[in-house]
């Protein structure tokens, strides 16, 4: 794959934080690592407060060697197109050494790159090119569990009960006369028991180990100082390499209640799931325990030792937002994903309420709110927003799901929802492919599914593969330009030509043009650092506010809304009259009305 170069004029020029080019990057002779001396000058910029951060799912972004799995060199070759899109940073889902039983969220070596993705040198090149283009780089840190292939875990199995090696994980004796029952009743997020029994070297059944996720993802014991010290070193390793921060996986799960008591879920409402990641975590003995916070205070200080403004972003499925705000107190993390916003239906009243709640909760601790609509764990919002009752997180959509989302309706709502999101002050996350309007892939054959959720639920939950299909770059080419061989680890639909980047680039009205225009105007008008001032006089179905000089109006209802007189900045559909149709959003600069 050749390096595609963006015309100079299309690169971001008006961002005061944009880093200048590669000449500034040098190899540190002592560390033998690439260092970015410009980072020092960025100390205090707090770029993350308003940043638009683009999530790259490496296995599905761009595949340079044609084996059907995306890789780091592929990402590097496509970075110029992200710079022209107008984002500020990329977050890379895990690319570390891993048996890939949970698509890389099962890490076997935190300080190396899995050969399917490339090498550490490929990572350095990626980071250098990203910085040259003014894009910051956030990597994924998976501290709750390792892979069962990690040397710490194989050493723990070999060392036996009561050993210091076992004390790094959550090994316990079983209940019952012969230890044949699991130590408690906890269920895995992916389905089935959260415990697996080991076999001792003599072949006899041994202790059990805890895994909140797949059995190939044993939970670490974060009350163990040894574990904490290892992760300090892992953080330093990547910080020295020049990363701008970490997205922290399962940041609400690392500390479990002392004694590991049984958990009896309260009566569930329709659509709720006892072993989900979210919900009110208050009563769950493995979610949102107060002990997690001292870990983040420790990491906050560690990051401060490095130049530039490095960040921590929590993946914490914690509700309500007033509780999630504890993850972003001034001495803890910098951001937390706002999943309450992601889960809000396409309803004016509910969107206004969650925006208010978010701004109040986060500003109460001096943090920006984040906004997010899609990621690699949820049904793409292009499909989700077309459903009245979308399945709970992790359940996914598949061939037998009913009703199926209406693609045109979903796309209209997704475009409107994204334009609304990008007008909000704070930091926004964009998941690869949403700028193309990609829908969830529903018709994946069972035989090609890979998500452990699907297998641990015996196919009763489809899982998350539908949002992870490799993205289309060029219409009419093998694998839509994901690679040049046509291989793809998940099959791509045959009708994606119109979604391909090449079909949308420079095309007025395309979803890519909408995102590009919105990101350009957001940046130029400083919306990310602005504020929300609600506008009265619109109905329940309408979200209307002013941020700086821009009036934003989103119509979630069915009745067209009369627009104020003004100049349209961006709109999710071409507007032919002064009315905003159903399922659309507009940004405009109001004009005073004059009588003739």
Question: DSSP string spanning 261-287?
Answer: ----PPPPPTT--TT-S-S-GGG-TTS
Query: If you search the block for the tokens 């690392």, which residue do you land on?
Result: 254
Q: How far is CA 421 from CA 30, 370, 515, 527, in A?
A: 44, 10, 11, 11
Active site residues: 249, 305
User: Phi/psi at 35 (nearest 5 deg)?
Assistant: -120, 155
Report how many helices (DSSP H) and strands (DSSP E) the chain contains, helices first.
13, 22
- Closer residue to ligand GLC in complex, CB, 172/468: 468
3-state class percentages of the chain: helix first, strand second, coil last, to nearest 5? 30, 15, 55
- Closer residue to ligand GLC in complex, CB, 105/110: 105
- Closer residue to ligand GLC in complex, CB, 189/421: 189
Determine contact, residues 256/224, Cβ cutoff 8 Å. Answer: no
Residues 6+ apart with CB under 8 A from 9: none
Cα 20 from Cα 32, distance rounded (Å): 22
Cα 389 from Cα 331, distance rounded (Å): 38
Q: How far is CA 514 from CA 29, 40, 230, in A?
A: 45, 35, 44
- Closer residue to ligand GLC in complex, CB, 213/587: 213
Q: How far is CA 58 from CA 83, 113, 128, 305, 517, in A?
A: 17, 12, 17, 29, 26
- Closer residue to ligand GLC in complex, CB, 131/145: 145
Residues 6+ apart with CB under 8 A from 172: 183, 195, 207, 208, 209, 210, 260
Give residue 543's Cα distance to chain centre: 25
Question: To the nearest whole angstrom, how small is the minimum distance from the Cβ of residue 107 to ligand GLC?
Answer: 9
By DSSP bridging, strand 171-172 and strand 195-199 are: unpaired
Cα 39 from Cα 22, distance rounded (Å): 13
- Closer residue to ligand GLC in complex, CB, 299/346: 299
- Closer residue to ligand GLC in complex, CB, 36/219: 219
Contacts to ligand GLC by CB under 6 A:
102, 105, 142, 213, 249-250, 277, 315, 376-377
Question: To the nearest whole angstrom, how small is the minimum distance from the Cβ of residue 25 to ligand GLC?
Answer: 30
Return the residue nearest ligand GLC (CB atom).
105
């Amino acid at each position: 794959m050749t390096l595609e170069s963006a015309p100079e004029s299309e690169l971001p020029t008006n961002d005061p934080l944009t880093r200048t080019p590669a000449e500034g990057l040098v190899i540190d002779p002592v560390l033998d690592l690439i260092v970015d001396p410009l980072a020092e000058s960025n100390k205090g910029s707090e770029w993350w407060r308003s940043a638009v951060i683009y999530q790259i799912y490496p296995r599905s972004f761009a595949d340079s060697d044609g084996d059907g799995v995306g890789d780091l060199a592929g990402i590097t070759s496509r970075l110029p197109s992200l710079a022209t899109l107008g984002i500020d940073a990329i977050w890379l889902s895990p690319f570390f050494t891993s048996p890939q039983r949970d698509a890389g969220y099962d890490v076997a070596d935190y300080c190396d790159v899995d050969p399917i993705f490339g090498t550490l040198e490929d990572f350095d090149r990626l980071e250098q090119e990203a910085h040259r283009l003014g894009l910051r780089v956030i990597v994924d840190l998976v501290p709750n569990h390792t892979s069962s292939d990690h040397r710490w875990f194989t050493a723990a199995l070999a060392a036996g009960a009561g050993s210091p090696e076992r004390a790094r994980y959550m090994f316990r004796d079983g209940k019952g006369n012969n230890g044949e029952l699991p130590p408690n009743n906890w269920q895995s997020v992916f389905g089935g028991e959260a415990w697996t029994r080991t076999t001792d070297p003599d072949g006899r059944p041994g202790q059990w180990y805890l895994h909140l996720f797949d059995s190939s993802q044993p939970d670490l014991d974060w009350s163990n100082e040894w574990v904490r010290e290892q992760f300090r070193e892992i953080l330093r390793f990547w910080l020295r390499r020049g990363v701008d921060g970490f997205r922290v996986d399962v940041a609400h799960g690392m500390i479990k209640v002392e004694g590991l008591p049984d958990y009896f879920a309260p009566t569930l409402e329709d659509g709720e799931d006892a072993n989900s990641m979210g919900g009110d975590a208050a009563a769950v003995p493995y979610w949102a325990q107060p002990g997690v916070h001292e870990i983040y205070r420790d990491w906050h200080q560690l990051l401060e030792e490095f130049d530039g403004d490095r960040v921590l972003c929590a993946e914490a499925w914690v509700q309500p937002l007033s509780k999630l705000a504890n993850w972003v107190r001034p001495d803890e993390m910098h951001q937390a994903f706002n999943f309450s916003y992601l889960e809000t239906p396409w309803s004016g009243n509910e969107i206004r309420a969650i925006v208010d709640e978010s701004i109040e909760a986060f500003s109460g601790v001096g943090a920006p709110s984040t906004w997010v609509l899609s990621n690699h764990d949820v049904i793409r919002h292009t499909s989700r927003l077309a459903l009245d009752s979308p399945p709970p997180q992790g359940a996914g959509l598949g061939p037998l799901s009913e009703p199926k989302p209406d693609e045109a309706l979903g796309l209209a709502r997704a475009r409107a929802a994204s334009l609304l999101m990008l007008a909000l002050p704070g930091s926004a996350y964009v998941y690869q492919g949403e700028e193309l309007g990609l829908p969830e892939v529903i018709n994946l054959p069972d035989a090609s599914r890979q998500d452990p959720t699907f297998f641990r639920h015996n196919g009763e939950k489809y899982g998350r593969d539908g949002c992870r299909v490799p993205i289309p770059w060029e219409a009419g080419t093998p694998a839509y330009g994901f690679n040049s061989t046509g291989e793809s680890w998940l099959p791509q639909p045959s009708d994606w030509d119109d979604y391909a980047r090449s079909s949308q680039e420079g095309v007025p009205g395309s979803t890519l043009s909408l995102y590009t225009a919105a990101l350009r105007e957001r940046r130029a008008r400083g919306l990310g650092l602005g504020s929300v001032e609600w506008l009265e006089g619109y109905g329940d179905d309408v979200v209307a506010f002013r941020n700086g000089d821009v009036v934003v109006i989103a119509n979630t209802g069915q009745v067209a809304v009369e627009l104020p007189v003004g100049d349209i900045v961006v709109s999710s559909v071409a507007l032919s009259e002064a009315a905003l149709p159903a399922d659309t959003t507009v940004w405009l600069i109001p004009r005073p009305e004059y009588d003739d």
